[in-house]
Structure 1
Amino acid sequence: MQADIPPEIERWFSGRDWRVRRHQAEMLAAADAGKHALLVADTGAGKTLGGFLPTLADFCPSRLADAAAQDGLHTLYVSPLKALAHDVQRNLVTPVEEMGLPLRIETRSGDTPSDRKKRQRTKPPHVLLTTPESLSLLLSYPDSFELFGSLKRIVIDEVHAFATGKRGDLLALSLARLQALAPQMQRVALSATLANPEGFREWLAPWGEIDTVALVQGEEGAPAQVEILLPEEERVPWGGHAGTWAVGQLYQTIRKNRTTLVFTNTRFLAEFIFQQLWDVNEETLPIGIHHGSLSKEARRKVEGAMARGELRALVATASLDLGVDWGDIDCVVQMGAPKGSSRLLQRVGRANHRLDQPSRALLVPGNRFEFLEAQAAKDAVDAGQRDGEEFRPGGLDVLAQHIMACACAAPFDEAILLAEIRSSLAYAYVDETVWQRVLNYVATGGYALKAYDKFRRIVRDKQGVWRLSHPEMAAKHRLNAGIIIDSEMLEVRFRNGRSLGRVEERFAASLSAGDTFAFAGQSLEVESVKDMDVIVRATAKSAMIPSYGGARMPLTTHLADRVRAMLVDRAGWARFPDDVREWLEVQDWRSQMPGPDNLLVESFPHSKRHYTVYYTFTGWNANQSLGMLITKRMEDRGLMPGGFVANDYSLAVWGLKPVADPAPLLSPDILAHEFVEWVQESYLLKRSFREVAVIGGLVERQHPGKRKSGRQVTFSTDLIYDVLRKYEPDHVLLEAAWADARERLTDIGRLQELLERSQDQLLHVELERVSPLAVPVMVMIGRESVPQGAVDDELLLEAESLASAAMRVDDQP
């Protein structure tokens, strides 16, 4: 396809000594040919501009000729992050203004003032930048038919970040609705890190129409330069995850660069590392912090300072690892293990952000297994290999929410709406039986709840058309709709009302007047905890650190396989630091190495208890699930288990009696009965039910002027859960909760693969004492309840004691 690039765009590019890149021209050609398009291009390749080039072209005077520019909404831009939408707005305004295009661009998210939101529906901009949740809410208004009728294009940025999850389900349903409202609409998706582009083409296309989606591959850029930071004098730590050993070296890196972006995997670690850096910041360099719990004002202030080049360093979480274009960043630092090569590539790409210049990154492993993971991630990046998640059927709770959004917009015919919903890959599986079950749930709450009027949200009239049971249902839906179910948060405020952000209710419940904690880069003293607010004042006292819950980033299967291969590649150990190489050599001499072709299990006595360590490499969720199941089986067999502890790589279980043969503890039939019983009786299913009940609209978090506390929501959902378990065990939301608990919370797929592998790959080694590879997981015992980072010094002392026993080579193996 040959692109007809308007002269205004050609002149603008040449005026900056740029050229329209091949993939950008191909995106314009695909649009001119009436095709949808998926662009996969390296960071810094101009993906966003490539996605918007057809929109800019539509408003160029040379293409308009003497016609007036289109009035109304022309292009939707959907991103997973509010920060990304604001960043894109900044970067789009410049070319629009410099080319003199009659194009208005605005953002819309949960942070947008209500008066602007209302005005956007009646007088929309030409380009609206938003999130999946805000788009779904827009579709719930009666004026959505008029608002989106003129839509020509939707651009989905960083599609890999959410297409395979529930936010992707919601967006897929919104795409189907938009296509019905604007049949001429073109779908565009952008990403730098796709392992399976064909799968994303299928997701992007209307169901069965993958040939309508052009796959555009970007020009290759300069390879990333990734290095692993090692201690200058000390050894790579045995345990810990914060990487506090590197703070001094990290500070020197910040001093040498114009701007350094420091990524952490959790909000807690962002606060902790930020404080550690300030403790050594003798020159008071401007260093900022950014994460999702901070207030909108705090985030915007930091984003603006970074855009203006006023910060020397910024400590951030995943809140900034997607698409933010700050070209003056010299170096990206990843604190702790990257957990996946695609995630690492995404974060590394924030440095330089130019296709022809290599991005520089430093990986800071917190312990020895994290060193191996960092090396595996570096190797994958060097080889250009990426990892990604598989698509799964769309969630029924999300479908229920979408049905309500459609009902809020207008009465609907169920056959027409079903056909529309089935036009998306995520919901192509929905047959008449599933459809009627979900529809019945939205209408009545289900068999066990239909006697209660509060659950009657839609009704069918005499003509067979579904409509709201009462107009107030629309307001309730819009107040409570959404997919992201965070832990309940309390606002952190000064007495004058200024908000600093939010902390989890569980953490806030532990606070009393006079307690101190670090947050938003400040040390704060609690004055009072009242309703949904924590009232604080600044203090010079030393502070506790808030411990956020949140989900753990899973170790990808791709990286896990690479680490296992490295462990048996003895020739490759030569490139490792001396202490890491010695660690592996002593392990190899005293025991065995876990590898791709075995499941190593070690048993040994320690401190009057018997330990069994399983080297699974299946990630924390699967290891936690396996630990629960193994201890139950040990108890049934009289082995008197004491507990277990897990990380991404291994699981350590202890008891008063030794495990002579671990094979019976790992038989796959454990998933047939014990797994089901454990999940049903554990908090996992109730936790999943709470989330799907909120997403599916069964329980309301928000009432006009008032929000339920997390405790109130939990009480309501637990009560309904017990009723449904007893009287309607096949309820739609119980099914949705089961799907979540199996896939997301317990990682059942990886667990099942591990148990099947154990049948012919189990390698059991009985030792007289702890092995070198067991030390990293053993030092976690008794420390799980203590915030990560704060205990690193204690972990080192504990590790030295264990390591001296593990690394001793004065006897026979």
Structure 2
Amino acid sequence: MTEQPRLAEQNAAVLLPEPFVKWFGEKGWSPRVHQLELLAKAQGGQSVLLIAPTGAGKTLAGFLPSLTELAKRPRRKPGEAHRGIHTLYISPLKALAVDIERNLGKPVEEIGLPVTIETRTGDTPSHKRQRQKLVPPDILLTTPEQLALLIASNDARRFFEDLRYVVLDELHSLVISKRGHLLALGLARLRAFVPKLQTIGLSATVAEPDELRRWLVAQNPPKNSNNPEMAGLITVAGGAKPDISILDSRERVPWSGHSARYAIPEIYEAIRKHRTTLLFVNTRSQAELLFQELWRANEDSLPIALHHGSLDVGQRRRVEKAMADNALRAIVATSTLDLGIDWGDVDLVVHVGAPKGASRLAQRIGRANHRMDEPSKAILIPANRFEVLECRAALDANYLGAQDTPPLVKGALDVLSQHVLGVACGGPFDADLLFEEVRGAAPYA
């Protein structure tokens, strides 16, 4: 046994409750060093940013502090008031929250933990949302918009009074837009409710780690602009280099257009040669068009599905279940599936059209295999001749490990206005105290 696994085994016995150690052993696994390091930092009261490649077990690492703490918590006595939520998980995608509920539920059940897990997204029925306010789950998986609505409720303080951790998945994607500004303000509000709140950020593609480390903790305002408050940092190196190619089509590549119709026979041929293929496009109209073209070419009646945000929720859930059951040979998707999803036995990613960035390409090709030690396989399909250059640039950047996540920008004032209105809906507030609270959010510091 090498030195690092031996240390990990010793640390696991100290940091993890016995049922967790037993579960890892029964699976033939050992906790990874970065998982135990994050757990140790969290148990020491520190907020943490974990940067690790796809397949490194980021999700389990992010939830270990919550699960180990909940495992030791005394059970609620009959007649005792229901506790508020313990852990809030926030993702940029509704589908990712549903995926996490399924994947997290399995170890919780196998270890025998008395932990309840539920999702709350725009797809959640209103009666379930009302029931969640009265009987909150231990772990709530939700989105930035739902957090804003919860904060605007007049019982928000009671609902969040037992909150210990906020886990932010695919953090780089959450923070770069106005959704990130709204989420930062929501976190500042949660810290006003629970001053000792800890945050855990998870990401595979980060260009400027220190920006995200500041974002994760209160800035209120920075005591020293040259030495601001920052969360702890854990970086995991490695991961197998992906196998990416650009289609060398037998057909003539057009000068213009975005449909990539010329490549449909070759795309279909690639689908036939692989177990499950995930096909990404950049817009919903492209997704609909590609899906129709593939069905026209589908002489073998292969099970091919479509997934994007405008589809009926029932149809999306059926597609997601079929993916999890490995019942599909191909699925055409937009950005609804490009972050963190770990469904089925996907062994090929096809990107139709230029990926519009090295970070986006890295995220999407990571859906193939979704294991740290096995290379992801991807084919880029330029829709026109100019996109051949874009695909080449993205491919070269990926091999160099370059990241092009946009830098964080100052908080938008229209988002701030929306947040202030939400706070007012929740009840009276002191303007000076709210001003200081808002300055605690990194975009508004």
* Alignment correspondent of 1:220: 238
Task: Give the match's secondary structure for 1:43.
Answer: coil
1:19 offset after TM fit, Å? 2.0
Does the 8 Å contact 2:308/2:336 carry over to 1? yes
* Alignment correspondent of 1:229: 247
Does the 8 Å contact 2:354/2:382 carry over to 1? yes
* Alignment correspondent of 2:108: 96
Which of residues 75, 83, 90 in structure 2 aligns to 1:68? 75
Instruction: Say if 2:272 is the partner of 1:250.
Output: no
1:59 offset after TM fit, Å? 2.3
Equivalent residues in 2 for 1:458-469 (5 A)? none
Aligned amino acid, residue 221 of structure 1: G
Equivalent residues in 2 for 1:510-659 (5 A)? none
* Alignment correspondent of 1:27: 38
Aligned length: 423
Instruction: Say if 2:133 is the partner of 1:121.
Output: yes
Equivalent residues in 2 for 1:184-583 (5 A)? 184-207=196-219, 208=222, 210-232=228-250, 234-428=251-445
1:185 offset after TM fit, Å? 1.1
1:307 offset after TM fit, Å? 0.8
Which of residues 43, 48, 52 in structure 2 aligns to 1:37? 48
1:327 offset after TM fit, Å? 4.4
1:212 offset after TM fit, Å? 4.7
Aligned amino acid, residue 42 of structure 1: P
Does the 8 Å contact 2:168/2:202 carry over to 1? yes
Task: Give the match's secondary structure for 2:22.
Answer: helix
Task: Give the match's secondary structure for 1:59.
Answer: helix
Does the 8 Å contact 1:243/1:336 carry over to 2? yes
Aligned amino acid, residue 101 of structure 2: Q
* Alignment correspondent of 2:3: none
Aligned amino acid, residue 168 of structure 1: G
Taking the aligned partners of 2:60 and 2:180, their CA distance within structure 1 comes to 23
Instruction: Say if 2:176 is the partner of 1:149.
Output: no
Taking the aligned partners of 1:266 and 1:242, their CA distance within structure 2 comes to 11
Task: Give the match's secondary structure for 1:361.
Answer: strand
Taking the aligned partners of 1:343 and 1:324, their CA distance within structure 2 comes to 14
Name which of structure 1's ranges 236-245 and 27-36 shifts more when overlaid on structure 2. 236-245
1:72 offset after TM fit, Å? 2.8
Taking the aligned partners of 1:291 and 1:115, their CA distance within structure 2 comes to 25
Taking the aligned partners of 1:219 and 1:196, their CA distance within structure 2 comes to 16
1:393 offset after TM fit, Å? 1.2
* TM-superposition CA deviations, 1:756-801 (whole Å, max 9, x none): xxxxxxxxxxxxxxxxxxxxxxxxxxxxxxxxxxxxxxxxxxxxxx
* Alignment correspondent of 1:138: 150
* Alignment correspondent of 1:160: 172
Taking the aligned partners of 2:150 and 2:426, their CA distance within structure 1 comes to 9
1:192 offset after TM fit, Å? 0.8
Does the 8 Å contact 2:326/2:344 carry over to 1? no
Taking the aligned partners of 1:412 and 1:79, their CA distance within structure 2 comes to 29
Does the 8 Å contact 1:327/1:352 carry over to 2? no
Task: Give the match's secondary structure for 2:175.
Answer: coil
Taking the aligned partners of 1:177 and 1:162, their CA distance within structure 2 comes to 17
Aligned amino acid, residue 142 of structure 1: N
Instruction: Say if 2:58 is the partner of 1:47.
Output: yes
1:159 offset after TM fit, Å? 1.2
1:18 offset after TM fit, Å? 2.2
Taking the aligned partners of 1:235 and 1:371, their CA distance within structure 2 comes to 13
CA RMSD across the alignment: 1.6
1:211 offset after TM fit, Å? 4.5
Taking the aligned partners of 2:253 and 2:25, their CA distance within structure 1 comes to 50
Aligned amino acid, residue 202 of structure 2: L
Larger Rg: 1
Taking the aligned partners of 1:394 and 1:165, their CA distance within structure 2 comes to 9
Does the 8 Å contact 1:22/1:218 carry over to 2? no
Does the 8 Å contact 2:213/2:230 carry over to 1? no
Taking the aligned partners of 2:23 and 2:403, their CA distance within structure 1 comes to 34
Aligned amino acid, residue 230 of structure 1: D
Which of residues 154, 163, 183 in structure 2 aligns to 1:171? 183
Does the 8 Å contact 1:223/1:359 carry over to 2? yes
* Alignment correspondent of 1:6: 17
Aligned amino acid, residue 178 of structure 2: K
Taking the aligned partners of 1:314 and 1:327, their CA distance within structure 2 comes to 11
* Alignment correspondent of 2:99: 87
Task: Give the match's secondary structure for 2:28.
Answer: coil
Taking the aligned partners of 1:17 and 1:122, their CA distance within structure 2 comes to 40
* Structure 2, unaligned runs of 5 or more: 1-7, 77-81
Task: Give the match's secondary structure for 1:216.
Answer: strand
Does the 8 Å contact 1:35/1:212 carry over to 2? no
The TM-score with structure 2 as length reference comes to: 0.92
1:242 offset after TM fit, Å? 1.9
Does the 8 Å contact 2:50/2:203 carry over to 1? yes
Calculate percent identity across the aligned residue pairs.
52
Taking the aligned partners of 2:24 and 2:243, their CA distance within structure 1 comes to 28
Taking the aligned partners of 2:259 and 2:332, their CA distance within structure 1 comes to 13
Taking the aligned partners of 2:233 and 2:163, their CA distance within structure 1 comes to 22
1:288 offset after TM fit, Å? 0.1
Higher relative contact order (CA 8 A, sep 6+): 2
Does the 8 Å contact 1:72/1:150 carry over to 2? yes
Which of residues 11, 18, 25 in structure 1 aligns to 2:29? 18
* TM-superposition CA deviations, 1:550-578 (whole Å, max 9, x none): xxxxxxxxxxxxxxxxxxxxxxxxxxxxx
Taking the aligned partners of 2:277 and 2:24, their CA distance within structure 1 comes to 29
* TM-superposition CA deviations, 1:317-372 (whole Å, max 9, x none): 01111111124001000001011000000000000111111111010011222111
1:236 offset after TM fit, Å? 3.5
Aligned amino acid, residue 68 of structure 1: R
Taking the aligned partners of 2:25 and 2:243, their CA distance within structure 1 comes to 29
Aligned amino acid, residue 24 of structure 1: Q
Does the 8 Å contact 1:265/1:317 carry over to 2? yes
Taking the aligned partners of 2:125 and 2:310, their CA distance within structure 1 comes to 19
Does the 8 Å contact 1:25/1:50 carry over to 2? yes
* Structure 1, unaligned runs of 5 or more: 429-813
Task: Give the match's secondary structure for 1:189.
Answer: strand
Equivalent residues in 2 for 1:663-682 (5 A)? none
Taking the aligned partners of 1:187 and 1:382, their CA distance within structure 2 comes to 31
1:142 offset after TM fit, Å? 1.4
Taking the aligned partners of 2:52 and 2:203, their CA distance within structure 1 comes to 7
Aligned amino acid, residue 400 of structure 1: S
